[in-house]
């Protein structure tokens, strides 16, 4: 979207009378460009993905997943997670429905990990910021993490760690409604409005943090904390990301600023994944559904997986950049 960058630069220099090479001017240009770009991309992508999602309501997804078990079931669960809700908080109610329906625990957790972490929208937006190689790599490792996480959890036989009230809830198998094209368009339009309302604050915060990192924090400071010289950078990035709450779109501006400051791609991916898959508010919600033992193992498995991904990508970053 070079045309948009040129328009924003022209606005900042000619209308606001700011030099984009200065800290203030550069911050304003970064903030305006990234905000407008993300909202344009997000609106278009949410509409397209929601239109596709209208063919896969929870009832249909549940019926599809009930046909599979083992690694194949985990893989299908992870793939179906890519066309469902954009954040872990909104995917938890579907997770409850899957658990209540008696789906294997591994499949439901593969879905739960994949749903906020990987989707078509994140692929296309990451591609616009970081290029095709990094975007595809992010999606691939996100799916692998979801499949592996679900497989490990399934092998632990932790079915008794689901809160008892979830199992006692009536399993309502609603009839799958056939929608017309207009109804699907209306549904997709409404989803754009609803999701933008939920995430706009986090996008603005993310862009603001990104602008500050890009223009105000010296590169030497960033490199000292998160650069290749810090052996524990992926672990630190994962730990910093967990208390935050945002979806993939809110983390991208921060990731972009870190990338431009020379932070290794593996460390950046570790940060993005921990924010989207293990945010503290989501874990608090999940604690109402599963018992502490299963919650702790879920967080540990996903955290270790994210850290391994971070170190792996840092080591093989020359293949992507």
Average pLDDT over residues 43-52: 79
What's the confidence (pLDDT) of residue 297?
A: 92
pLDDT at 245: 62
Mean pLDDT, residues 295-300 taken together: 91
Helix (H) or strand (E) holding 35: helix 23-53
Domains of the chain, residue spans: 2-171+178-319
Taking CA atoms, 157 is separated from 111, 154, 240, in Å, by 18, 6, 31
- Residue 58 reports pLDDT greater than 70: no
Q: What is the pLDDT of residue 143?
A: 92
* Burial category of 157 from C-beta neighbours within 10 Å (exposed 0-12, middle 13-18, buried 19 and up): exposed
Cα separation, 242 vs 217, in Å, equals 22
What pLDDT is attached to residue 224? 77
DSSP annotation of 243: T
Instruction: Choose the most confident range, by mean pLDDT, from 65-74, 114-123, 246-255.
Output: 65-74
In this predicted structure, which of 78-87, 120-129, 255-264 has the lowest mean pLDDT? 78-87
| Per-residue pLDDT, 131 | 82
Contact 115, 88 (CB under 8 A): yes
Q: Could you say which DSSP state residue 67 is in? A: T
Whole-number pLDDT of residue 42 = 77
Of 48 and 122, the structure prediction assigns the larger pLDDT to: 48
Cα–chain-centroid distance for residue 318? Answer: 24
As given in the structure block, the two tokens for residue 98 are: 């899957």
58 in Cβ contact with 85 (< 8 Å): no
The packing angle between helices 88-100 and 58-65, to 10°, is: 50
pLDDT at 182 over 60: yes
Q: What is the pLDDT of residue 197?
A: 83
pLDDT in tens, 22-33: 888 888 988 898
């Amino acid at each position: 979207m070079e045309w948009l960058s040129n328009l924003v630069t022209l606005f900042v220099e000619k209308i606001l009378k700011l030099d984009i090479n200065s800290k203030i001017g550069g911050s304003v240009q970064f903030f305006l460009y990234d905000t407008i770009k993300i909202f344009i991309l997000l609106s278009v992508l949410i509409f397209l993905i929601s239109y596709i999602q209208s063919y896969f309501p929870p009832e249909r997804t549940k019926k599809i997943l009930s046909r599979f078990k083992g690694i194949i079931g985990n893989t299908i669960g992870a793939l179906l997670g890519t066309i469902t809700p954009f954040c872990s908080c909104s995917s938890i109610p579907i997770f409850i429905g899957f658990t209540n329906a008696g789906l294997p625990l591994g499949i439901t957790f593969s879905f739960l990990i994949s749903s906020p972490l990987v989707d078509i929208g994140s692929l296309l937006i990451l591609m616009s910021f970081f290029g095709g190689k990094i975007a595809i790599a992010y999606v691939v490792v996100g799916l692998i993490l979801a499949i592996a996480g679900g497989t490990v959890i399934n092998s632990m036989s932790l079915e008794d760690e689901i809160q008892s009230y979830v199992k006692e809830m009536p399993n309502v198998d609603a009839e799958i409604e056939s929608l017309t094209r207009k109804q699907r368009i209306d549904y997709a339009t409404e989803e754009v409005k609803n999701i933008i309302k939920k995430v706009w604050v986090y996008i603005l915060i993310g862009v603001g943090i990104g602008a500050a990192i890009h223009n105000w924090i010296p590169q030497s400071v960033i490199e000292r904390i998160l650069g290749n010289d810090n052996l524990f950078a992926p672990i630190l990035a994962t730990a910093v990301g967990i208390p935050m709450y945002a979806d993939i779109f809110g983390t991208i501006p921060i990731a972009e600023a870190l990338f431009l400051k020379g932070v290794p791609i593996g460390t950046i991916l570790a940060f993005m994944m921990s924010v989207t898959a293990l945010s503290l508010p989501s874990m608090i919600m999940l604690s109402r559904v599963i018992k502490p033992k299963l919650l702790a193992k879920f967080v540990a498995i996903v955290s270790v997986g994210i850290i391994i991904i971070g170190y792996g990508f840092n080591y093989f970053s020359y293949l992507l950049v």
